[in-house]
């Protein structure tokens, strides 16, 4: 693992020369309790992480936040994590803040008031990815847990 600065600020990349040797392990190989949430930031190696976490994700059905960079010259690198999640019944959200009162209401769009702004979680389709900013943190939510997710975000009990 190579660090882009001498203070190891978190800007590390796997596979670069003159780095530090680290032990790699898949999530599936670790003896960990089932996660409710997973955050993946693997500098364009998100698909490899997902392959090593397949059993865990299929068993636990966690919410997953993953970093995604736009690569117009290599669309597979951008879209493969979306296809991986879509094949397992996940939908996608972008998070953002809207100051003041919302100017429009989207049915079933979860929002949370913090007193200053509204946290808005905007659903989107993988086909829309190339119309969005170059770097995103994407929230992947299992479709079968969408009601639970909306309840957690809004503070209301899940339906059913």
Residue 145 binned pLDDT confidence (cut-offs 50, 70, 90): very high
Report the C-alpha gap between 115 and 19 in whole angstroms. 45
Indicate the range of 23-27, 46-50, 140-144 predicted with least confidence.
23-27
Tell whether the torsion through CA atoms of 151, 154, 157 and 160 is positive or negative: negative
Burial class (CB in 10 A: 0-12, 13-18, 19+), 115: exposed
Indicate the range of 6-20, 73-87, 120-134 predicted with least confidence.
6-20
Question: CATH second-level architecture of 32-154?
Answer: 2-Layer Sandwich (3.30)
Distance of alpha carbon 150 from its chain centroid, rounded?
A: 16
Report the C-alpha gap between 111 and 95 in whole angstroms. 10
Global pTM value? 0.79
Which DSSP string corresponds to 55-95?
A: HHHHHH--EEEEEEE--TT-HHHHHHHHHHHHTTTEEEEEE
The percent of residues above 90 in pLDDT, for the chain, comes to: 57
Give 118 or 11, the one with higher predicted confidence: 118
**Cβ neighbours around 55 below 10 Å, total:** 12
Give 51 or 105, the one with higher predicted confidence: 51
Sequence ranges of the domains in the chain: 32-154
Residue among 137, 92, 93, 95 nearest 114 (CA): 95
Tens digit of pLDDT for each residue in 66-96? Answer: 999 999 999 999 999 999 999 999 999 998 8
């Amino acid at each position: 693992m190579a660090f882009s600065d001498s203070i190891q600020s978190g800007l590390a990349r796997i596979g670069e020369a003159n780095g530090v040797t680290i032990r790699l392990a898949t999530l599936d190989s670790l003896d960990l309790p089932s996660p409710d949430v997973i955050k993946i930031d693997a500098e364009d190696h998100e698909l490899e992480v997902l392959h090593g976490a397949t059993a865990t994700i299929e068993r636990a059905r966690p919410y997953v936040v993953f970093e995604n960079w736009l690569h117009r010259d290599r669309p597979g690198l951008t879209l493969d994590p979306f296809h991986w999640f879509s094949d397992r019944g996940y939908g996608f959200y972008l998070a953002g803040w809207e100051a003041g009162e919302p100017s429009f209401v989207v049915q079933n769009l979860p929002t949370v008031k913090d007193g200053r702004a509204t946290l808005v979680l905007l659903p989107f389709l993988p086909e829309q990815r190339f119309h969005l900013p170059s770097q995103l943190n994407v929230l992947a939510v299992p479709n079968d847990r969408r009601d639970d997710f909306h309840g957690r975000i809004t503070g209301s009990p899940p339906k059913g």
